A and B are shown apart, each in its own frame.
Chain A
């Protein structure tokens, strides 16, 4: 589904991604862990098409086509979703209104008619219930006045409504208490399917207790320096990153 090959990317004048390669197949859940500042959010942003990053070499192929020339909205229409590490507040833009506009923009791109209003309402009510979000959140401005945990929950709620093919969740688990973490994990697990893939950026092995990854990668210095299965996450939790960094330096 997604193939990243030797990707180099700058933010401003600084090279952040320095030859990153990663392949994700449909149905898989990949976790990316790594020290602060190692380039995890940069990777997520480059995949979502954010301005301000320059890809200097390498390639990203998504569903067989070159992803990099596409605008952020086009990537969304093709099924890419980014859950933000720091979801922003957008006063005056209603949560429900945003989701309806987003769904309809995608449907329009695919030559489908606008979503039926009643059906849409049913969907958002169901998903809000699944995310244990109060219905009142639906009619509030996007993230405005939400607590940190509510914002993260809202990201997963949006994901659940939009049903992407490839969901990139950037530290969605940070700042969540255990109950919220379980809800977020349940939201992700409910969406897992054989033709959908997840890229979970996380700091803590904790999330992976609830969402079992197929692959775990360590991102450091702008590259994947080690990959393994879920046991790698446990090792990192127990021993930190130093041994991986040393191992990579020694190799």
Chain B
């Protein structure tokens, strides 16, 4: 192994000892009782595996040394209160929620005073972990990933709060359920947790939105459970400060005939790593997964996707796009596994990237593991610069060259954002606006 990687692994191991001290320093008074045993179990699991190391194939391009060190520092140093002025400014900049449900967490804790759930339809149950009694809590935990991997285990071990969303069978919720996780810039190792259960034939739209300022540290975990014929439209929007470190795991279980429309957007973070796992465990379950990541400066954004086709006639479509400029780096790893017996599987994966500078870098890797014959699988990835023909076409119409380049970069991103528009026009407009603010300088 390269020396640099060895040094990073040494740093990670040193951080692990400090994290262990932080856990040993005593249980968090704010954490509900019913979480305690899971926290301990998860911590034991975390100690065994430790932080993921560079030598692991899944972490080949993304080092968690900085994450481990910041975790060690922040877990020891927990803020006593939220910086409400900063939080108010962050919330002010958000789009007005279209149906009125907005649940806000600051530094990982539920803030009832900043949340409004009055618009919630009957059949929608929103339960902040900090308000759940033991029976409810245990039921929530039952459906949640606890220690599936090191980061999920770390999240569970230091979990103090979270949100469980349950949509009852047959219930259709048109208005988005907007869950905001805000970091106020204080040294806090935030472990957001979202638990989503969509009942049979229910239909819901949920936005998981991360915002923050300063050198934040977020390790988010989302568990998604869609029952038979359920439909979830799920937007994950990572719009943290560009100095923050953000890692996230989403694990979705899809029952027979259910459908997940997922859109995952990374605008922010110095280092972002996002793992999405979709388990198509019922016949005809379907996942439509879109993604957009934009990285400039020397930022690093890594998307890892895994889709398991376990049953016949399941289908998945992945369409991820990256825009990488300056000396930034983007990683896309998309794994599709078609298990024995999953006949009639249809899996399509596409990753397209715009590389806008000589120093920028993209590592893209599709991985297909197919254990049955009756499948339709296609994958493609392209990484390139702006198309010279398109630039000329626009210029010939009178668009100045710099504007033409900007227009093409924005158009490339807009195509992903447009998939939100039919369901949530206000959110789509907000996303376009945020995207245009992130556009790299391509004027040269």
Interface residue B389 (Cβ < 8 Å from any Cβ of A): yes
Q: How far is the CA of A71 from the CA of B396 in the complex (A)?
A: 9
- Contact partner of A73 (CB less than 8 A), chosen from B387, B399, B410, B415, is B399
Q: Is the CB of B411 within 8 A of A76?
A: no
Q: Which residues between 150 and 167 of chain A lie within 8 Å of chain B, taking CB atoms?
A: 158, 162
| A 70-99 binary contact with B (CB < 8 Å = 1; else 0) | 011101110001101001101111000011
Which residues from chain A contact B412 at a C-beta distance below 8 Å?
92
Interface residue A112 (Cβ < 8 Å from any Cβ of B): no
| B 95-106 binary contact with A (CB < 8 Å = 1; else 0) | 000000000000
Q: Is the CB of A77 within 8 A of B393?
A: no
Q: Is the CB of A93 within 8 A of B395?
A: no
Q: Is the CB of B411 within 8 A of A93?
A: yes
Which residues from chain A contact B418 at a C-beta distance below 8 Å?
92
Interface residue B398 (Cβ < 8 Å from any Cβ of A): yes
Q: Is the CB of A73 within 8 A of B400?
A: yes
- Contact partner of A72 (CB less than 8 A), chosen from B395, B407, B408, B414, is B395
Interface residue A51 (Cβ < 8 Å from any Cβ of B): yes
Interface residue B397 (Cβ < 8 Å from any Cβ of A): yes
Q: Is the CB of A102 within 8 A of B398?
A: yes
Q: Is the CB of B394 within 8 A of A98?
A: yes
Given A71-B401, A101-B403, CB of A92 within 8 Å of CB of B396: no
Interface residue B390 (Cβ < 8 Å from any Cβ of A): yes
Q: Is the CB of B393 within 8 A of A76?
A: no
Number of interface residues of A (CB under 8 A): 30
Q: How far is the CA of A20 from the CA of B351 in the complex (A)?
A: 46
Which residues from chain B contact A93 at a C-beta distance below 8 Å?
394, 407-408, 411
Interface residue B388 (Cβ < 8 Å from any Cβ of A): yes
Interface residue B392 (Cβ < 8 Å from any Cβ of A): yes
Interface residue A50 (Cβ < 8 Å from any Cβ of B): yes
Interface size class of B (residues with CB under 8 A): 20 to 34
How near does chain A come to B322, taking the closest CB pair, in angstroms? 15
Q: How far is the CA of A93 from the CA of B412 in the complex (A)?
A: 9
Q: How far is the CA of A141 from the CA of B414 in the complex (A)?
A: 11
Which residues from chain B contact A48 at a C-beta distance below 8 Å?
396
Q: Is the CB of A105 within 8 A of B400?
A: yes
Given A72-B392, A101-B407, CB of A91 within 8 Å of CB of B415: yes
Interface residue A203 (Cβ < 8 Å from any Cβ of B): no
Q: Is the CB of A102 within 8 A of B389?
A: no
* CB-based nearest A residue for B398: A76
Given A51-B388, A91-B411, A92-B410, CB of A106 within 8 Å of CB of B393: no
Given A71-B401, A105-B400, CB of A90 within 8 Å of CB of B393: yes
How near does chain A come to B418, taking the closest CB pair, in angstroms? 8
Which residues from chain A contact B390 at a C-beta distance below 8 Å?
88, 90
Which residues from chain B contact A76 at a C-beta distance below 8 Å?
395-398
Q: How far is the CA of A174 from the CA of B226 in the complex (A)?
A: 53
Q: Is the CB of A101 within 8 A of B399?
A: yes
Q: Which residues between 29 and 81 of chain A lie within 8 Å of chain B, taking CB atoms?
A: 48-51, 71-73, 75-77, 81
How near does chain B come to A50, taking the closest CB pair, in angstroms? 5
Q: Is the CB of A102 within 8 A of B399?
A: yes
Which residues from chain B contact A75 at a C-beta distance below 8 Å?
396
Which residues from chain B contact A99 at a C-beta distance below 8 Å?
397
Which residues from chain B contact A141 at a C-beta distance below 8 Å?
411
- Contact partner of B399 (CB less than 8 A), chosen from A87, A88, A91, A105, is A105
Q: Is the CB of B397 within 8 A of A92?
A: no
Q: Which residues between 352 and 389 of chain B lie within 8 Å of chain A, taking CB atoms?
A: 387-389
Q: Is the CB of A88 within 8 A of B389?
A: yes
Which residues from chain B contact A81 at a C-beta distance below 8 Å?
396
Which residues from chain A contact B414 at a C-beta distance below 8 Å?
92
Which residues from chain B contact A51 at a C-beta distance below 8 Å?
388, 392
* CB-based nearest A residue for B392: A50
Q: How far is the CA of A139 from the CA of B203 in the complex (A)?
A: 30
Q: Is the CB of A73 within 8 A of B395?
A: yes
Q: How far is the CA of A75 from the CA of B392 in the complex (A)?
A: 12
Q: Is the CB of A162 within 8 A of B398?
A: yes
Q: How far is the CA of A239 from the CA of B252 in the complex (A)?
A: 70
Chain A residues packing against B (C-beta within 8 Å)? 48-51, 71-73, 75-77, 81-82, 84, 87-88, 90-93, 98-99, 101-103, 105-106, 141-142, 158, 162
Q: With contacts A105-B398, A162-B397 known, what are 11 further pairs, Cβ within 8 A? A: A50-B396, A51-B388, A84-B393, A88-B387, A90-B394, A92-B414, A99-B397, A105-B399, A105-B400, A106-B398, A158-B397
Chain B residues packing against A (C-beta within 8 Å)? 387-390, 392-401, 403-404, 407-408, 410-415, 418
List, sorted by A's number, 23 A–B pairs whose CB atoms are closer than 8 Å. Answer: A51-B388, A72-B395, A72-B396, A73-B398, A73-B399, A76-B396, A77-B398, A88-B387, A88-B390, A90-B408, A92-B408, A92-B410, A92-B412, A92-B413, A92-B415, A93-B407, A98-B397, A101-B407, A102-B397, A102-B398, A105-B399, A106-B398, A162-B398
**4 cross-chain pairs, A with B, having the tightest CB-CB distances, nearest first:** A92-B411, A76-B398, A72-B395, A102-B398
